[in-house]
Amino acid sequence: MSNTTTQDRPVCGRFAPSPSGRMHLGNLWSALLAWLAARSRGGRMVLRLEDLDPDRCTQTWCDQVMRDLEWLGLDWDNEPVYQSRRTDAYRAAFARLEEAGLIYPCYCTRAERLAASAPHRSDGVPVYDGRCRRLPPEELARLARSRRPAWRVRVPEEVLSFRDLLQGGVSQDLSLDCGDFILRRSDGVYAYQLAVVVDDGAMGVTQVVRGSDLLDSTPRQLWLQERLGLPHPEYGHVPLLLAPDGRRLAKRDRDQELGALQSCYSAQELVGQLALLAGLIPEYAPISPAELIPLFSWEKLPQADCAVHWADGICTFFTKTIQSPVQRDLPPV
């Protein structure tokens, strides 16, 4: 990949929360590690509120996210950026891709998308097979009279590889493992994949640290950066914190929700729990994020997802694969 690399630019990390509910322990884990990764290299930290979905994201939740980050002891160096106010930038990027002949309308219903999907990926997600890119003009015209399309980008038969700061070498066949993906929904809302690429470029982000559930999105974002002439950040995907049954923590289920945690723990007590899990301290002790800056190292971080069971003041972590306690049974605080 020929675009400008992070080595040519000052370090800049980012918070990019979706303000659709109260943050949970997994959100705090990712935010803490993203902040430490940037600050440990003397870098800036910027905040972007990914409030694209008007049905789920509100200003109330935006304000709450910022209060929660500040409570934890995490700061940022910019005026917060709201994606809901950046439609013009996404429209311009979309137009550039459209002019390059990379965009096409997709009229598939949900049922049709599933029926038209190629075999599912290993994680169970279906891959769209490009059905609508092959429709003749007369069929497209007929569908346009009765349906509003989503808009997809044509991906090539290309294997894209990159080196993740924690996960190591990662490769993805864009056509087989990703497929043509949506850049604008049928209701006109621009999709996450386009918005995040445009904003990371505009905000000067050089380092993206986020949960491993987004590892699969990285190759398509790198590919979009190439198409739009944007520099590539470096990426580090940290393990997820899971519910005791192995499912992902979810805001809608109020899993390990920060409001409940704040009623039991101080910020430094909570950071101490997370720092021990991250391998940054040898034994539990309350600690502030600022005190962890000189202790941060990618080599110390775990790679496996962990289930979290919090009861009677004791936080116990389990590995995703074997579901047995690891040496992270934390004392009550």
| SS3 at position 194 | helix
Cβ neighbour number for residue 171 with a 10 Å cutoff:
10
Q: What residue ranges define each of the domains in the chain, with the CATH number in brackets? A: 87-198 (3.90.800.10)
The pLDDT of residue 243 is: 76
The per-residue pLDDT for range 262-284, each reduced to its tens digit, is 887 899 999 998 999 899 999 88
Is residue 12 within 8 A of residue 205, CB to CB? The reply is: yes
Q: Which residues of the chain have pLDDT under 70?
A: 1-8, 115-124, 250-255, 310-333
CA trace torsion 33, 167, 257, 60 (10° rounding): 70
The pLDDT of residue 249 is: 72
Is residue 165 within 8 A of residue 212, CB to CB? The reply is: no
Mean confidence (pLDDT) of the chain: 87
Taking alpha carbons only, the member of 318, 316, 266, 256 closest to residue 289 is 266
Position of tokens 């409001």?
259
The per-residue pLDDT for range 194-223, each reduced to its tens digit, is 999 999 999 999 999 999 999 999 999 999
Residue 309, beta-bridge partner list = 316
The pLDDT of residue 313 is: 54
* Residues whose CB is less than 8 angstroms from the CB of residue 255 and which lie 6 or more positions away in sequence, other chains included: 24, 25, 243, 249
The pLDDT of residue 107 is: 94
What residue type is assigned to position 16 of the chain?
A
**Secondary structure E strands in 145-291:** 150-153, 159-164, 168-173, 181-184, 207-211, 234-238, 241-242
The pLDDT of residue 328 is: 37
Distance CA 254, CA 258 (A): 9
**Secondary structure E strands in the chain:** 12-15, 44-49, 81-82, 103-106, 117-118, 127-128, 150-153, 159-164, 168-173, 181-184, 207-211, 234-238, 241-242, 306-311, 314-319
